[in-house]
Amino acid sequence: MNILILGGGGREHALAWAVKQNPKCARLICAPGNAGIAAIAECAALDITNGDAVAEFARSNGTDFVIIGPEAPLAAGVADRLRAAGILCFGPSAKAARLEASKGFTKEICDAAGIPTAPYARFTDPNAARTHIRRRGAPVVVKADGLAAGKGVVVAMTEADALSAIDAMFGGAFGAAGAEVVIEDFMEGEEASFFVLCDGETALAVGTAQDHKRAFDGDRGPNTGGMGAYSPAPVLTDAVADRAMTRIIRPTLAELARRGIPYQGVLYAGLMIADGQPRLVEYNVRFGDPECQALMMRLGGQALDLMLACAEGGLDGARVNWADDHGLSVVMAAKGYPGEYETGSVIGGLEALPQDSLHMVFHAGTARDGGGRIVASGGRVLGVTGRGGTLAEARARAYALLGRIDWPQGFARSDIGARGV
Ligand code: GLY
């Protein structure tokens, strides 16, 4: 089978690595890919948000199956375009991708389906938003309605921070994504990620994870796209996962179907869990990054079978073969991230590291320079990942790998998974 993966981050390296374990994969192309992906797949330059270009590329390369990694092509309707061209594809339609592309739309679905989530209000007028914040007080959560590369959510612990977020969003910090904001009550509890495959009819849970959003140890510093993750999430017990399926995931899918929007792809629910009761924080319409790195390490080659079953409408009867294992991924980022950072610094020591079912360094922002050396080309650069029979073992493996990477211009948190252990 000829497979095309769209994207070029750590998530896509992990997806490519898992897909390659499966003997069904004969040829793998990744667009645009990165230096790590290039070691296991062909990389191609392609505008992955242009559905016509992607469909033409897939057709001319004899692609049998397209896996869409990030949210931007999904929101741009690339999955719709591929399906219209008769190309099998993993990822929801643009209408379904509004679950991530519009925070207000998700709240509307929650209202219609009675899904537990934080009380909220939507605003297009900054003064009305400010009045609402003064009336409700802090802590409060301010969200840009649209896609903002993971930076559009501010958990404001003071009224002043919430008002600054309003100024930034309506001031254009996130472009059109901030033209509307959702303001919601702060929820207490422990946050975890729940990943469910949906084929339009059947939903199948494929794993849980916990992410570390702040840049520095002890959950300090600015919010990032994620500095490390581990899977499974201890707080998302089977009982909590069952409740999330019954009260959140299935009602969401049913409400979408009622509106003529069948969901096909992975649905990533960010949940806040308190006293064993899950409430919805947000939806994403793709795998989490770096949660995917920890999850793919555990799923291995069966990930391709599951994504294929999802795309073909065959999840009924599919099951996940779980091992009793744990995955943990530590992100190495360029110093300065998530603010200003430099690119082009050389990363040494990678070639000597083991790469097997217990150890992987997934590349996120890397490239090769003129001399063939691996250099940093983004903010989040590597996902140093271990797997083990316990979380402590997975964690020890990941940090042992990290200790052998020679990159003075990079940094990582030293406490990923520490609380879980
Ligand atoms: N790690 C958070 C996300 O992928 O949105």
Q: What's the confidence (pLDDT) of residue 420?
A: 86
Residue 160's pLDDT is: 96
Output the residue whose Cα is nearest ligand 1's atom 5.
Answer: 288
Pocket test for ligand 1, best of 147, 155, 195, 211 (most atoms within 8 A of CB): 211
Ligand 1 mean position, distance from CA 233 (Å): 15
Check pLDDT > 90 for residue 149.
no
pTM of the model as a whole? 0.97
User: Residue 150 pLDDT > 80, yes or no?
Assistant: no
Q: In Å, how far are 50, 204, 208, 324 from 235, measured between CA atoms?
A: 39, 19, 9, 16
Please tell me the predicted confidence (pLDDT) of residue 251.
Answer: 98
**Is 372 exposed, middle or buried (CB count within 10 Å of its CB: 0-12, 13-18, 19+)?**
exposed
Protein residue closest via CA to atom 4 of ligand 1: 288
pLDDT at position 379:
97
97 alpha carbon – ligand 1 mean position (Å): 15
Please count the residues of the chain: 421
Atom of ligand 1 nearest to the CA of 229: 1
Q: What is the average pLDDT across 335-355?
A: 96
pLDDT level of residue 363 (50, 70, 90 thresholds): very high
Query: Which of 289, 295, 380 maximizes ligand 1 atoms within 8 Å of its Cβ, making it the mutation to test the pocket?
Result: 289
- Strands 27-32 and 42-43, by their bridges, are parallel
> In testing the pocket of ligand 1, which one of 74, 193, 293 has its CB within 8 Å of the most ligand atoms?
193
**Residue 249: which residues within 8 A CB-CB, separation 6 or more?**
194, 196, 203, 267, 269
Strand partners of residue 141: 155, 184
Closest ligand 1 atom to 292 CA: 4
- pLDDT at residue 204, rounded to an integer: 98
If you average pLDDT over residues 361-368, what whole number do you get?
97
The mean predicted confidence, pLDDT, of the chain is 97
How far does the centroid of ligand 1 lie from the alpha carbon of residue 229, in Å?
A: 10
Instruction: Give the burial string for 211-227 (b: 16+ CB within 10 Å, else e).
Output: bbbbbeeeeeeeebbbb
Which long-range CB contacts under 8 A does 363-368 form with residues at least 24 apart? 363/10, 363/13, 363/34, 363/35, 363/36, 363/37, 364/9, 364/10, 364/13, 364/34, 364/289, 364/331, 365/9, 365/34, 365/334, 366/34, 366/35, 366/36, 367/34, 367/35, 368/35, 368/38
* Residue 177 binned pLDDT confidence (cut-offs 50, 70, 90): very high
Tens digits of residue pLDDT in 274-324: 999 999 999 999 999 999 999 999 999 999 999 999 999 999 989 999 999
Ligand 1, atom 2: nearest CA belongs to which residue?
288
- 286 CA → ligand 1 middle, Å: 9
Residue 230: name the closest of 405, 409, 392 by CA. 392
User: Could you tell me the end-to-end alpha-carbon distance of the chain, in angstroms, rounded to an integer?
Assistant: 40
Q: What is the mean pLDDT of residues 377-393?
A: 98
What is the distance in A from the centroid of ligand 1 to the CA of 288? 4
pLDDT digits (tens, 9 = 90+) for 243-282: 999 999 999 999 999 999 999 999 999 999 999 999 999 9
Distances (CA, A) of 176 to 49, 77, 128, 180, 336: 17, 18, 19, 8, 26
- Pocket-forming residues, ligand 1, beta carbon under 6 Å: 150, 211, 225-226, 284, 288-289, 291
Instruction: Give CA–CA dist 193/177, Å, rounded.
Output: 23
> What was the pLDDT predicted at 151?
81
For residue 289, the ligand 1 atom closest to its alpha carbon is 4
Looking at residue 31, its pLDDT comes to 98
pLDDT for 222: 87
Nearest atom, ligand 1, residue 284 CA? 5
Residue 223, pLDDT > 90, answer no
CA of 307 to the centre of ligand 1 (A): 19
Å from CA of 131 to ligand 1 middle: 31
pLDDT tens column, 14-24: 999 999 999 99
Among the atoms of ligand 1, which is closest to the Cα of residue 287? 4
**Residue range 377-390: mean pLDDT, rounded:** 98
- pLDDT tens figures, 74-130: 999 999 999 999 999 999 999 999 999 999 999 999 999 999 999 999 999 999 999
- State CA 349 to chain mean position distance: 27
Separation between Cα atoms, residue 243 and residue 215, nearest integer Å: 31
Q: How confident is the model at residue 166 (pLDDT cuts 50, 70, 90)?
A: very high
* Confidence at residue 215, expressed as pLDDT on a 0 to 100 scale: 96
Q: Percentage of the chain with pLDDT > 70? A: 100
Atom of ligand 1 nearest to the CA of 291: 1
What is the token pair recorded at 354?
Answer: 């083991």
- Domains of the chain: residue spans and CATH: 2-92 (3.40.50.20), 119-185 (3.30.1490.20), 190-317 (3.30.470.20), 326-411 (3.90.600.10)
List the residue whose alpha carbon is closest to atom 3 of ligand 1. 288
pLDDT in tens, 130-146: 999 999 999 999 999 99
The pLDDT value given to residue 136 = 92
Tell me the backbone φ, ψ of residue 133, rounded to 5 degrees. Answer: -65, -40
pLDDT at 419: 87
Whether 402 has a pLDDT exceeding 90, the answer reads yes
